[in-house]
Structure 1
Amino acid sequence: MASGGSGPGRPGRPKIGWEFFGSELRRRREAAGVTQQELGERVFCSGSYIGQFESAVRKPQLELARRFDEELDTDGYFSRMCEELVNSSPFADYFAEAAEFQTLATTICTYSPTLVPGLLQTEGYARAVFRAAQPFRPAERNEEGVRSRMARARLLTSPTAPELWAILDESILRRPIGSDADMAGQLRHIAELAKGDRVLVQVLPFSARAHALLEGNLTVMTFVDAPPVAYVEGPFSGELLDDPAVVGKCEASFDHARASALSPDVSLAMIESAAKEYERGCEA
């Protein structure tokens, strides 16, 4: 996953927030004498979505903010505010909105084919990932990414932590990222989290052969009072999906992969066994 951090005091946190954006949208809409349903029809979304934007449950993309400006005659006010909020995020542009949604989610289901998901990464593993992905970037920039990722990972230890269901391809266990010590520490970290009551981990073994999620990273998030969303990611790109039909297909694909994966107990045993192998490598 892309780099990032979350929570109060994170690097680059803007002076304004999405709550302010939402309250201003409500104020300007009501001043114009327009209902949520009427505004939704004008900007090509539902009235319930307008309500979710106004309550900061959802964050509108820039194109939608521009439509708000057009329909409410606000002279670029909402698009400028949206750009400020997105640009001041510590996350990669394509991941910023998905990262915000993670802090609001009640459940996060994620599948990764090549790398440990960002929320589960340790510092040593994350540093190796950043170094490999952007070898020509200044070391300090990579360190900023590591710090942000570690801040975001603290989401799992917060009192309101979402339930996380992670499916890891077996290749994640077998391909060394960083040193043997980095890999051993990473796998031990995953094992400890999996023994708690908020994180469930399954390994999709090589023996599963073809499966529903061969094409790449997928994350599905659910919320208390909003429809689920999905996030798909490739190299230096990502897309947030909220069309109900598309999200439904993503949920079905995750369920199919989950059915092909090893049980949580067997997965934990495989992860701990792989950690021991890397630990032996450290001793050699």
Structure 2
Amino acid sequence: MAKEIDPSTSMAALFGARVRKLRTAAGLTQAELGARVHVVGTRIAQIERVSGAKPTLELARALDAVLGADDLLVELWPYVYRETFPDWSRKFMAYAEQAVSIGEYAAHVVPGLLQTASYARAVLSVGLTLSGDAQLEERLSARMGRQVRLTSEDRPVLRVVLDEAVLRRPVGDSTVMREQLKRLLDNASERHITVQVLPFDQGEHDVMGGSLSILTLPDGSDVAYTEGAHYGQLIEDPEDVGNFVRTYHQLRAAALPPLMSLDMIRSVMEDNHRGANVPSRSERRRVAQKQLQQSGRRQLRGSGGRISPRRPRT
């Protein structure tokens, strides 16, 4: 008989122990459970013994349903997945799940919260840290799983600034890219999501090398996160975070207003690259002022649904 794994040693061990306990209570063999969730029996053995690839979110959901676990396995899964990440990365993920407002600047690809599955697969398929197909599926499941919060009752306000390069760089084939740009247009129609494009003509800025996220937590405090191709950094020191918050606001101010941004996205999506002209700065200011006036009138009418702008820290 195989030696039982101590569930206190890791979240993966706890997950495996729960699967084994639920499977035994249901009177199922590993092969029988595997057949019901459409995997081979050895895959169930790997989960229970904490060997091989970690379970995907899809598999956790299937096990939950078959074993009648009342979402226990689904709730454990994010902790199992995060266990492979550095401490700072796990902490950022935990903050992101609590955030009431998320500000994103993306230099190279669409932020994960707004990616289609096909686009995400293409992005995640490259990189020095990818070890194989199993890890790819694991990462894809995690990314898609995090998007659920955008449709939940406690969904955060999401403000995204995309560098123009994000629209211009093909990811996947033309169908994948078109579907992704269409997804951005659909996302931007949601009241809690704002999408802007930072055009090339704005020149250099402080975070050209990677992405920047600003998370506002329920207590009103902020944390910042910067990320490159193979690294990330969580910033919690209030003074440093304040500098990144100001940088992010500068990027939003330099970006095209939302309506013009959507026009540019739509133009690129329709393969009319030369027609995706960047409006003059005076035209941007005119449209931005008009949108601010309209936004102010909506707030005075008590439309609700958005977080009020926070006062700058002194």
Does TM, scored on the shorter chain, surpass 0.5? yes
Matched, 1:102 2:96: yes
Aligned residue number for residue 119 of structure 2: 125
Matched, 1:141 2:135: yes
CA gap 1:132/1:244 in 2 versus in 1, 3 angstroms? same
Deviations 1:126-160, CA, capped at 9 Å, x for gaps? 10011122596322221111111000111211111
Give the 3-state SS of the residue equivalent to 1:259 in structure 2.
helix
Matches within 5 A, 1:1-284: 89=82, 92-93=85-86, 94-134=88-128, 137-277=131-271
Cα RMSD after superposing both structures: 2.4
Give the 3-state SS of the residue equivalent to 2:171 in structure 1.
coil
Q: Distance in 2 between matches of 1:182 and 1:88?
A: 27
Deviations 1:51-86, CA, capped at 9 Å, x for gaps? xxxxxxxxxxxxxxxxxxxxxxxxxxxxxxxxxx97
Q: Distance in 1 between matches of 2:100 and 2:129?
A: 36
Q: Distance in 1 between matches of 2:136 and 2:254?
A: 36
> Aligned-pair distance for 1:117?
0.7
Q: 1 or 2 for the larger relative contact order (CA 8 Å, sep ≥6)?
A: 1
Shift >3 Å, 4+ stretches:
11-15, 85-88
Q: Distance in 2 between matches of 1:91 and 1:178?
A: 27
**Conserved in 2, the CA contact under 8 Å of 1:221 and 1:228?**
yes
5+ long unaligned stretches in structure 1: 1-10, 16-84, 279-284
Give the 3-state SS of the residue equivalent to 2:271 in structure 1.
helix
CA gap 1:255/1:150 in 2 versus in 1, 3 angstroms? same
TM-score (normalizing by structure 2): 0.59
Q: Distance in 2 between matches of 1:129 and 1:197?
A: 27
TM-score (normalizing by structure 1): 0.65
Q: Distance in 2 between matches of 1:88 and 1:133?
A: 19
**Conserved in 1, the CA contact under 8 Å of 2:130 and 2:136?**
no
Q: Distance in 1 between matches of 2:89 and 2:165?
A: 24
Output the amino acid matched with 2:260.
V
Q: Distance in 2 between matches of 1:194 and 1:91?
A: 33
Residue identity over aligned pairs, in percent, reads 35
Greater gyration radius: 2
Give the 3-state SS of the residue equivalent to 1:127 in structure 2.
helix
> Aligned-pair distance for 1:92?
3.4
Number of residues of Structure 1 aligned to a counterpart in Structure 2 = 199
**Conserved in 2, the CA contact under 8 Å of 1:212 and 1:256?**
no
